């Protein structure tokens, strides 16, 4: 009956007949998916993967007399579910070889629960360091949240240990650039800029101190800032040209 239904679907491509095949073999797919349901992966997701594999098996199976579709479909469905675990369920991507060794070590640990790493290495014919790395690989399967509390006495979280941008380096660079730009100004203009932007004095106060009007202080500031900006822009251009020359020479 199964072979006849598959032949009929393959000859007509009638979606209703495909639906009958899916309904017919859905219990088999569910049975296979349940064998992997001990993981954290939802059973509905595994069932969905298995049903997609069933469709592939229906398309690829050769319904010759005496052939068994179930015998053909089971390894196909199981292989797709295993591939799903390998490619889509790890929180952190690790090489396939590491995943496979992790699976072998896990199975060996179940069969030999009291075995040491040295004994497991001998059983699997790998080095002790490889066994240790395989055991550590499990941490990549389910990563901890950044809110996870560490074992430290201060009760810090993993997020507390993340690095942050260090603004001090940029501040030092900015101060160097400002000092360089100030160096091109005359003594009076430099003092006016420093009084206004470093000491935060009012233009009116600076004018009184230098015996000039507030308008003149404003003009000095505008002219000085333009000169400083032009100097820094030209310095950047010179640096870029030098970098280009160095790159071409290399």
* Cα 42 to the center of its chain, rounded Å: 23
Residue-level pLDDT at 186: 93
Same domain, 75 and 10: yes
Q: Is the separation of the CB atoms in 69 and 57 below 8 Å?
A: yes
Tokens representing residue 31 in the block: 């049975």
Quote the domain boundaries for residue 121.
96-161
Please spell the DSSP secondary structure of 148-174, one letter per residue: -B-SSTT--BTGGGS----HHHHHHHH
Say whether both 194 and 234 belong to one domain. Answer: yes
Considering the domain architecture, whether residues 6 and 78 belong to the same structural domain is answered as yes
Q: Are 6 and 63 in contact (CB under 8 A)?
A: yes
Residues 57, 71: contact at Cβ < 8 Å?
no
Please say which residue of 161, 176, 208 terminates a domain: 161
Instruction: Looking at the structure, tell me whether residues 156 and 111 fall in a common domain.
Output: yes
3-state secondary structure of 215: helix
* Number of domains, the chain: 3
> Cα(250)–Cα(246) distance, rounded to whole angstroms?
6
Residue 72 CA to its chain's centroid (Å) = 38
- For residue 19 the two structure tokens come to 């639906």
Which pLDDT score, from 0 to 100, does residue 250 have? 45
Same domain for 156 and 172?
A: no
Residue 77 sits in the same domain as residue 146: no
Q: Rounded to two decimals, what is the model's pTM?
A: 0.46
Q: Please check whether residues 17 and 72 belong to one and the same domain.
A: yes
Instruction: Based on the fold, state whether residues 51 and 125 are members of the same structural domain.
Output: no
CATH no. for residue 30? 1.10.1740.10
In a shared domain, residues 172 and 208: yes
Same domain, 171 and 150: no
* Of 130, 161, 192, the domain-final residue: 161
| CA–CA separation, 230 and 185 (whole Å) | 12
The DSSP-derived string for 76-129 is HHHHHHHHHHHHHS-SS---HHHHHHHHHHHHHHHH-TT--HHHHHHHHTS-HH
Residue at which a domain ends, from 30, 58, 88: 88
Domain match, 81 and 112 both: no
Instruction: Residue 172: give its domain's CATH number.
Output: 1.10.10.10
Across the chain, which has 250 residues, the per-10-residue mean pLDDT values are 88 92 95 82 90 94 90 94 78 74 86 91 92 80 62 61 70 87 92 92 92 93 92 68 47
- In this structure, the answer to whether residues 69 and 34 fall within a common structural domain is yes
């Amino acid at each position: 009956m199964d072979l006849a239904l598959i032949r009929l679907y393959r000859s007509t491509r009638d979606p209703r007949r495909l639906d009958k095949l899916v309904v017919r073999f859905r219990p088999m797919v569910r049975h296979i998916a349940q064998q992997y349901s001990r993981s954290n992966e939802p059973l509905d997701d595994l069932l969905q993967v298995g049903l997609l594999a069933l469709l592939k098996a229906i398309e690829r199976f050769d319904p010759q007399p005496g052939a068994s579709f179930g015998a053909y479909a089971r390894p196909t469905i199981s292989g797709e579910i295993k591939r799903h675990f390998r490619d889509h369920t790890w929180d952190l991507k690790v090489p396939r070889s590491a995943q496979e060794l992790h699976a072998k070590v896990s199975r060996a640990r179940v069969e030999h629960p009291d075995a040491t790493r040295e004994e497991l290495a001998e059983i699997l014919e790998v080095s002790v360091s490889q066994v240790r790395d395989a055991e550590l690989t499990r941490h990549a399967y389910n990563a901890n949240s950044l809110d996870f509390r560490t074992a430290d006495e201060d009760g810090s979280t993993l997020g507390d240990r993340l690095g942050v941008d260090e603004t001090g380096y940029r501040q030092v660079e900015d101060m160097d650039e400002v000092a360089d730009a100030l160096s091109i100004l005359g003594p009076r203009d430099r003092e006016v800029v420093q009084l206004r932007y470093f000491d935060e004095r009012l233009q009116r106060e600076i004018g009184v101190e230098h015996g000039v009007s507030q308008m003149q202080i404003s003009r000095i500031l505008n002219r000085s800032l333009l000169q400083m900006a032009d100097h820094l822009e030209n310095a950047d251009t010179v640096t870029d040209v030098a970098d280009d020359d160095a790159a071409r020479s290399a």
